A and B are shown apart, each in its own frame.
Chain A
């Protein structure tokens, strides 16, 4: 295992958090609704960063499974903002091109953002279809999608932002020109 001392500083910088404040009381992990399906608990991620385990953290599934529900923040006695940490870690994982721990969740985010990029708004019908195509999970869950469609809860036509050039420009300044 490679120990990377600069890793935790980088994450502190990006997330605006100070992880020295964490005393591993595990309040964050205890209240986390998705801890069951995490490979490492939120405070374990903090510990691993303290130990310089860069690759293990960036390739973890935990960072993708976190839904940003803020339960952990409300419970942390030191107000360590775990979801901001998770944001920073996913960003780094993508930048460094490491193996993504939860490819389907990344696909979900990516397809969603493609919608935003295309119209400035999300057209749920197309979004769901594309997500399903991309993950080949086409026939799971058809029932619930159909139910929403027939109940008139999915939009039949997409809406778009008028000044789409502004949305494109936002993407450009955040991601660099493509």
Chain B
């Protein structure tokens, strides 16, 4: 059927309102603020977020660290579930889960033996039909515009550095992002929420990830260095994309003064004055309310 370019499109219309997502273990706990702001964000564009049914942990770092097959099969089960549930696009919230699922999808398609192993465990091979996408990719140009138009409280006064962390864009042949344009897009998006973004050189430095528990001293020094640089370029907040980075940045570090670390979805929530903003703002480990009050943003 030909597309009718002249057909009236209601403002905020989203062609595929049902968005299936893989939450990952942290979304409902340590990253609950991310989760809640995300639901609000989705509601704004009129999409319906639906969880992948019966999803399991992707295995995170521990699985691939000690048993590569286990990592592929744990992540692989989620892919099979998605196929069984007829899901074409599966949005993944956490960058680390994203890399695990992507890696599994690639490996399973390339390695017959591993796919056979998966079949032995869950009764079905992965056919390769699921498109894995990072949740911020929800923002097709038109949807991002919906957010832009909904801004009623531009976050003037927030000066932030974009902190991508390790895995959001790396390595490109796994994430599939065309990195530079993607980074630019995220930056311009953050800016359209009224936040001033600053240049710095530490956007992809590792936060120390799970060593926060096993090697806290080392992670303190990593975080100190990153945060110190954020402060030096004049940032009063950081913008993070990964639940683990966010917690490490707010919780760790000894010698640099903590900064509030926001998720992009939280910025949207505040800038568009979405309901219940106050609720997840309070969950921060570094209370951002002082900063927000200073600039009359609450």
CB within 8 Å for A112 and B60 given contacts A34-B218, A67-B210, A90-B66: yes
Contacts of B73 in A (CB 8 A): 170, 173-174
- A153 & B32 in contact (Cβ 8 Å cutoff): yes
CB within 8 Å for A74 and B210 given contacts A153-B283, A155-B28: no
Contacts of B211 in A (CB 8 A): 34, 65, 67, 105
CB within 8 Å for A74 and B170 given contacts A33-B206, A90-B65: yes
Query: Closest Cβ of chain B: how far from A15's Cβ, in Å?
Result: 9
Q: Which of A74, A87, A110, A144 is in CB contact (< 8 Å) with B68?
A: A87
Contacts of B221 in A (CB 8 A): 36
A4 sits at the interface (CB 8 A): no
- B68 & A170 in contact (Cβ 8 Å cutoff): no
Number of A residues near B (Cβ < 8 Å) is 59
- B251 & A171 in contact (Cβ 8 Å cutoff): no
Contacts of A116 in B (CB 8 A): 56-57, 59, 62-63, 74
Q: In whole angstroms, what is the CA distance A147 to B33 when docked? A: 15
Query: Closest Cβ of chain A: how far from B264's Cβ, in Å?
Result: 19
- B121 & A170 in contact (Cβ 8 Å cutoff): yes
Contacts of B61 in A (CB 8 A): 67-68, 109
Query: Closest Cβ of chain A: how far from B195's Cβ, in Å?
Result: 23
B69 sits at the interface (CB 8 A): yes
A104 sits at the interface (CB 8 A): yes
- B77 & A108 in contact (Cβ 8 Å cutoff): no
CB contacts under 8 Å to B, within A97-136, are 102, 104-106, 108-110, 112-113, 115-116, 120-122, 124, 128, 131
- B210 & A175 in contact (Cβ 8 Å cutoff): no
CB within 8 Å for A175 and B25 given contacts A102-B214, A109-B61: no
CB within 8 Å for A113 and B63 given contacts A69-B206, A169-B121: yes
Residue of A nearest to B59 (CB): A116
Q: In whole angstroms, what is the CA distance A139 to B56 when docked? A: 31
CB contacts under 8 Å to A, within B119-139, are 120-122
Contacts of A172 in B (CB 8 A): 121
Query: Closest Cβ of chain A: how far from B188's Cβ, in Å?
Result: 23
Residue of A nearest to B58 (CB): A116
- B214 & A124 in contact (Cβ 8 Å cutoff): no
- A124 & B25 in contact (Cβ 8 Å cutoff): yes
- B68 & A155 in contact (Cβ 8 Å cutoff): no
B284 sits at the interface (CB 8 A): yes
- B64 & A68 in contact (Cβ 8 Å cutoff): yes
Query: Closest Cβ of chain B: how far from A24's Cβ, in Å?
Result: 20
Contacts of A108 in B (CB 8 A): 62, 210, 213-214
B201 sits at the interface (CB 8 A): no
- B25 & A174 in contact (Cβ 8 Å cutoff): no
Contacts of A88 in B (CB 8 A): 68
Contacts of A138 in B (CB 8 A): none
A10 sits at the interface (CB 8 A): no
Contacts of B68 in A (CB 8 A): 14, 87-88, 91
- Produce 1/0 per residue, A144-178, CB < 8 A to B: 10011001111100010111001101111111000
Query: Closest Cβ of chain A: how far from B101's Cβ, in Å?
Result: 15
- Produce 1/0 per residue, B270-289, CB < 8 A to A: 00000000000011110000
Query: Closest Cβ of chain A: how far from B78's Cβ, in Å?
Result: 10
Residue of B nearest to A88 (CB): B68
B11 sits at the interface (CB 8 A): no
Contacts of A67 in B (CB 8 A): 61, 166, 206, 208-211
Excluding A121-B57, A169-B122, A175-B67, 17 further A-B contacts by CB distance (< 8 Å) are A33-B206, A34-B211, A34-B215, A37-B218, A65-B215, A67-B208, A69-B206, A71-B166, A74-B170, A74-B171, A104-B214, A106-B66, A113-B59, A122-B57, A144-B251, A151-B282, A175-B70
- In the complex, the 9 A-B pairs of residues with the closest C-beta atoms, listed nearest first: A109-B62, A69-B166, A33-B206, A120-B56, A69-B206, A155-B29, A112-B62, A174-B70, A67-B209
